[in-house]
Amino acid sequence: MSGNETSGHAGGALLARLAGLRARVADLVERRSADDPTASDPLRGLYVTPETARRLAAQPPTTGTDAPYPVERSPETASLGAADEGAPDRAAALAARFRLSALDLHILLAALAPDVDRGFEPLYGYLNDDVGRRRATVALTLDLAGTGPYAPAARARFHPAAPLLSGGLLVIEDEDRPLPGRALRVPERVVAHLLGDDGLDPELSGGEVELLLPGEGSGGPAGSDAGAGGEPFAERLAALAAARPVAVHLRERRPGTAAEPVTEGLRRAGLPVLRYRPEGRPEDGAGLAGALLREARLRGAAVVVGPLPERPEGLVRALAGGDVPVAFFGSEPYDPGWAPDSGLFALDAPDGGAAADEAWSAELGSLDAGFDLGAAVAPYRLGAAQIRRAARAATALAAFDGTPVTAAHVQHSARQQSAPLLDRHARRVRPAVGFDGLVLPSEPLSLLHELVQRARHREKVLGEWRLRTGGGRGRGVVALFAGESGTGKTLSAEVVAGELGLDLYVVELSAVVDKYIGETEKNLEKIFSEADRTDAVLLFDEADAVFGKRSEVKSSHDRYANLESAYLLQRLEAFDGIAVLTTNLRANIDDAFTRRLDLVVDFPFPDVEQRIALWRSCLAATPCAPDLGLDVCAKEFELAGGAIRSAAVTAGYLAAGRGGPVTAEDVRAGARREYRKMGRLVPDASPLWD
């Protein structure tokens, strides 16, 4: 059945109910005009005469088709109106969802009648003794119901806590008037719903609220195989929400790891979902709560809210404790003071790491890939929905390139799903060097390979195999690179990030360290928290500036410096990301930090053979003369890798300015330049260079 047909049937049901209301209005007009001594006054009702009122009440309006809707005068129809046989009766469903009494439903129909049928406007104006007041009033609706505003039970239906007003179905206007004379208005969204319109409330269409219908890409109906992303935790929670209204707060360690699977589970359970993201709103996000709850009750939907704003008390209190399922998500722990009487319960959302391999395989396992999919995606800690989006993006990117899906496509798309917001305090480096660009002894090289393996397999070893120690220790991987300046520490961190398919973020200590007490810790917490939630390699260059040894307290400065170190010690324990610390002076690093490190890699000063290899690596793509004498240069000039790279750049500029290839003299000039920069004595010219 098309949407237009459904809308027509639902509208017909409402019009049939209004036909019964019209009969009651006609009876009331007849009674009032029969014994009204001013009935013959031409100004009665401001030009609405009794004859006009009788004619309007008796005239059946059309429904927009050739046939008018039927006007029944049976007692049942005269009471509340009856729907056409076989037409969906949204008014009855609405009454059940909002727990409306028969009188409530009558009041609602009387209030919305002018919004559907213009013929009610002059009738209401006549009955209100003021043609300018063409909406139902409290007194008029109760007169039509056979009671009056003097009945306490009838007046109670207009209390703010009564179903009509608390549910957002009715608005009472004219606050300066006594209650019997106040006008009633039904929000347009409620009228549209009763007429069969399934569009989202315009109040919720600002971008913060998304409507997700059951079965739209949700992997099948409830009870079927969950497929990719089907997580037991999410499925159990969705089944509970489908059975009865619940309110739950789920604390996520990483955004999207629980919210989206639970959303998909609710849809598989047959529930529409209203996904509300209030974090971008300047206020606490509670402004839309009333419209959001009303929309959820109109549709029989569940509400998923998160990430929560900084102060979520008003929002949680407004949404929790109702009769719709609500799930809140956030990285902060639940505070019982948010909504103490709502029955809301709190859970820690699972990381979902165990199901990640299955989700990746379900999305991309059928591809004839020429790479190891498991190794390519192991460093990424994405939720099931993020994996689906990354897989689709990788497929589209490969189609754009006109090639099969590669590891680079997959890793690029995965990075977009986990893009960190670290640019304020860190500098992003896109890795462009691999292990083949490193010149290191075998021991540090093997430790770097081990660091890559630890980053790839930490979820299995620390999660599935439960080799993580207690005390709230995280699943992070932290390594210390120690060695003289220029020995390849930063370059090695870039190589590790590139091998993992991650971006490298170099923490700018000038943007972190603050002279005011406590501000440095706040800046570091922002960096650690963001690194915990996203996939990147964090590099603390010259780490001894913030990870230095604690000292004896001789002044207030020493005391606060020790507090900063104590904070860092505790934060490293709970860290979930990948971090590399570099230092030129390993002895300056506190022993307590060293104990918390997974690996310590010492970068020795390169010997002659390594210096020769470094010269060749730096000049590999440069046009060179046949004999550069690199072995002699490497023996004569004791330079680290960074200095050799700078010397090679100098040699390249000299050759480019001359318009020829790099010569032995260019290489020697670059090496001599580096010696002078370091303040060292430059060796005398050798006959080998003549």
Contact 41, 114 (CB under 8 A): no
Per DSSP, 638 falls in state -
Output the pLDDT for position 340. Answer: 83
The CA-to-CA distance between both ends of the chain, in Å, stands at: 93
Contact 536, 422 (CB under 8 A): yes
**Rounded distance, CA 490 to CA 540, Å?**
10
Upper half-sphere CA count for residue 286 (Cβ side, 13 Å):
13
Contact 295, 189 (CB under 8 A): yes
Signed CA dihedral, 289, 291, 293, 296: sign only:
negative
**Rounded distance, CA 605 to CA 628, Å?**
23
3-state secondary structure 136-203: CEHHHHHHHCCCCCCCHHHHHHHCCCCHHHHCCCCEECCCCCCHHHCEEECCHHHHHHHCCCCCCCHH
Neighbouring CB atoms inside 10 A of 323's CB total 13
Tokens 């390993």: give the residue.
586
pTM of the model: 0.70
The angle at the Cα of 567, spanning 561 to 570, to the nearest 5 degrees, equals: 145
Angle of helix 3-34 versus helix 50-58 axis, rounded to 10 = 150
Q: Quick one: which of 235, 263, 281 has its CA closest to 326?
A: 263
Helix (H), strand (E) at residue 654 = helix 641-658
Per DSSP, 327 falls in state E
Ranges of residues in the chain whose predicted pLDDT is under 50: 1-7, 45-46, 62-84, 218-230, 687-690
Neighbouring CB atoms inside 10 A of 231's CB total 24
Q: Which tokens go with 615?
A: 């010269």
Q: Is 251 exposed, middle or buried (0-12, 13-18, 19+ CB in 10 A)?
A: middle
Pairing of the two strands 247-251 and 326-330: parallel
Beta bridge mates, 599:
479
Q: Quick one: which of 532, 484, 525, 534 has its CA closest to 638?
A: 484
List the domains of the chain with CATH numbers: 3-194 (no CATH), 202-348 (3.40.50), 361-417 (no CATH), 435-603 (3.40.50.300), 608-689 (1.10.8.60)
The type of residue at 59 is Q
Signed CA dihedral, 32, 37, 39, 43: sign only:
negative
Q: Is 27 exposed, middle or buried (0-12, 13-18, 19+ CB in 10 A)?
A: middle
Output the pLDDT for position 10. Answer: 66
Helix, strand, coil percent values for the chain (each to nearest 5): 50, 10, 40
